[in-house]
Structure 1
Amino acid sequence: MRKVEKMYVIDDDKIYHFLLKNLFRQNNIAATPVFFSNGQDAIDHIKANKNNNAELPDLILLDVNMPIMDGWQFLEEYNMMLEELPKASTIFMISSSNDEQDLNKAKKYSNIVKDYFLKPICKEDLEKIFILDRA
């Protein structure tokens, strides 16, 4: 299993937060997510903790469509500050958008975005994200 000490979920959908917590519990994923309802809040938190490795995420689950700062804007900001961070996070985009433009745009961030999943994510998606041992 991928070692995840700290995980950020950047998504404005509170129902999705609830479903995600349940999905983690049902699949014995011990990581406790820190939720942000937009990219700006997450960027501010990362900037405030950029010298505190324990507060920085190992994994980020990022939505595309959010108010204030969307997923693409978050990626731009995160990419610009990456050199200042003591570690890079593994980022998976998780969105309800199956628009070809979004899928292609995610590929342009292949240096920081590992994969793109459609909502709702399922056990098979979690297996890819967390590299779960198959029973």
Structure 2
Amino acid sequence: MTPVGKSKIMIIDDNPIDQLITEHVLRLNDKSRDIIVMNSANEALAYLLLNVNAPEALPYRIFLDLDMPVMNGFDFLQHFKECVDEIKDGCSIVVVTASERREDLERIKLNPFVLKLIAKPLQRHSLVL
């Protein structure tokens, strides 16, 4: 269910092909009123902080890739945890990853902001949340 006042979904992925696939699958499932695509975790954090006082600009769901240069998905989750409540409230994160490393998967499952872990490539049936 979409929180009141929030209608955006954010995709954070450095791979343009994965961005397109994720956006396409989201649109097929009609779970996307407005999709924001970010090429890096740094870019996404900057957007969130810039819009802290504009709840309508903030996403209610973030689809996050783990394996990105400079700031990876785990780094993003750590920074997200430290964000103000206005950013975190009503926002859940879906991690989309090709990683099969047991340590990565366990770390993701323990994160309170992560709603679901989905294997890449994203498929329509995997969006059942």
Which residue of structure 2 lines up, in the alignment, with residue 37 of structure 1?
39
Which residue of structure 1 lines up, in the alignment, with residue 59 of structure 2?
57
- CA gap of 1:83–1:23, structure 2 versus 1, over 3 A, is closer
Q: TM-score, normalised by structure 2?
A: 0.87
More strand by share: 2
Please state how far the C-alpha of 1:64 moved relative to its aligned partner: 0.3
Could you tell me how far apart the structure 2 residues matched to 1:94 and 1:114 are?
A: 11
Please state how far the C-alpha of 1:21 moved relative to its aligned partner: 2.6
- CA gap of 1:83–1:24, structure 2 versus 1, over 3 A, is closer
Q: Give the 3-state SS of the residue equivalent to 1:59 in structure 2.
A: strand
Could you tell me how far apart the structure 2 residues matched to 1:104 and 1:85 are?
A: 25
How many correspondences in the alignment?
126
Q: Percent identity?
A: 25
Could you tell me how far apart the structure 2 residues matched to 1:25 and 1:56 are?
A: 19
Runs of 4+ in structure 1 over 6 Å off: none
Could you tell me how far apart the structure 2 residues matched to 1:62 and 1:33 are?
A: 13
Could you tell me how far apart the structure 2 residues matched to 1:72 and 1:86 are?
A: 16
- 2:107 maps to 1:105: yes
Which residue of structure 2 lines up, in the alignment, with residue 121 of structure 1?
122
